[in-house]
Structure 1
Amino acid sequence: MFIWTSGRSSSSYRPDERRNFYQKIKDHDLLDKRKTVTALKAGEDRAILLGLAMMVCSIMMYFLLGITLLRSYMQSVWTEETQCTLMNASITETFNCSFSCGPDCWKISQYPCLQVYVNLNSSGQKVLLYHTEETMKVNSECSYIPRCGKNYEESLSLVSIIMENFRKHQHFPCFYDPEGNQKNVILTKLYSSDVLFHSLFWPTCMMLGGIVIVAMVKLTQYLSLLCERIQRINR
């Protein structure tokens, strides 16, 4: 008959040894719980930092868009769209411009001035058409201003193509000032409502994402504390 003699059953322990044995098991469980709580706390801290970083980035993007895109959009007076009919498109003269040829290096060149006059269908007035709002600020005498470069022939060829496109398409949409402060019209708005919406969409998503992350972490912490209190009461 085989007898196991090397081990000891739990009933063979003395009371103090049995107490120490269960205390070690309890301490081991407490250590595991503390490690788990520490790991969860570190993960929660990282999640909160991520949420706060997303909110800070979205606020900075709102600020940058507010002083650039939104400001230009609000200052634009060409808000109403109508139909324009071409009356005359011609290259009138040339203007001097400067372009960069390297660090601290600038050279003088020229560009042709294209003037496009249209008939505003809403009022019947003959007005000068500008490409965008910025075109009038750069040179109020030209409807389109090409990029300044060292090759004048390339600029002239580009402007000639644009002039011929206007002559082919006699009717096209344009924007005018309904208040009548600006007598001219523009062909394209730099910042339309669609551009404004798409520019503000992603910062808004980032802001909402950061708020959701922080709120979920705080909700998880609150539920954990609530469960712990309930367990203490039940004990």
Structure 2
Amino acid sequence: MGKKLVMAQKRGETRALCLGVAMVVCAVISYYILGTTVLPLYQKSVWTQESMCHLIETNIRDQEELGGKKVPQYPCLWVNVSTAGRWAMLYHTEDTRDQNQQCSYIPGSLDDYPAARADVEKVRANFHAHRTFSCFSASREEEPSVLYRRLHGPHTLLFSLFWPTFLLTGGLLVIAMVKMNQSLSILAAQR
């Protein structure tokens, strides 16, 4: 009976040790992936200063209103704000600025024009209801644009690093508990 119990303990310890090592390896792989994807986006972000923006004007632009410029076939919200004593164009996120520099907000459903127009009208009404709001401006003064919301801010970075850190801590804890159990078993056997 004692020999079977010892063998079962060794199998359990081996499995727990494999689990702990697998958790640590997965955490290291996750850190590598985050370090090559999320971290460079966070470091490249120039919109680091949070300030207060005051709404100056909003305008919904359609293609026919822009007079010959090549613009996609969807309604486009254009927002002009005042922040830190200067005028600036407001963009919803970094991606909005990269997709179309003439639009502050691009609706989610671009296939259905009436639904996209209703979405843009709702966002415009929200800006008029809250004329003063927080926004993110660039650290350099010559940047003529500000962001409403950062995609790659410190909260996103912390949220991305939470689960790999939890996995690494859990794996190291499992390994430490197995090693501690083995050393206590050796001490108990010697007595």
Taking structure 2 as the reference length, the TM-score comes to 0.87
Q: Which runs of 5+ in 1 are unaligned?
A: 1-31, 97-109
- Give the % identical residues: 41
SS in 1 for 2:167: helix
Residue 205 of structure 1 is matched in structure 2 by 166
Q: Which runs of 5+ in 2 are unaligned?
A: 64-70
For CA contacts below 8 A with separation 6 or more, give which structure has more relative contact order: 2
Question: CA–CA distance in 2 between the matches of 1:143 and 1:191?
Answer: 18
Q: Which residue identity is paired with 2:124? A: M
SS in 2 for 1:111: coil
Residue 60 of structure 1 is matched in structure 2 by 29
SS in 2 for 1:41: helix
- 1:188 equivalent in alignment to 2:149: yes
Residue 117 of structure 1 is matched in structure 2 by 80
Q: Which residue identity is paired with 1:210? A: G
- 1:165 equivalent in alignment to 2:126: yes
Residue 176 of structure 1 is matched in structure 2 by 137
Query: CA 1:212–1:139 in 2, change beyond 3 Å: closer, same or farther?
Result: same
The answer (yes or no) to whether the contact 1:111–1:148 under 8 Å persists in 2 is no
After TM superposition, the structure 1 = structure 2 runs for residues 220-231 of structure 1, keeping only pairs within 5 Å, are: 220-228=181-189, 230-231=190-191
Q: Which residue identity is paired with 2:117? A: L
Q: CA RMSD in A?
A: 1.8
Question: CA–CA distance in 2 between the matches of 1:40 and 1:80?
Answer: 56
Question: CA–CA distance in 2 between the matches of 1:86 and 1:144?
Answer: 14
Aligned partner (choices 8, 13, 18) of residue 49 of structure 1: 18
CA deviation digits over 1:147-172, x for unaligned, max 9? 24322111112112211221222111
Aligned residues: 184
Structure 1 segments of 4 or more deviating over 4 A?
Answer: none
How far is 1:181 from its partner? 5.5
Question: CA–CA distance in 1 between the matches of 2:142 and 2:30?
Answer: 33
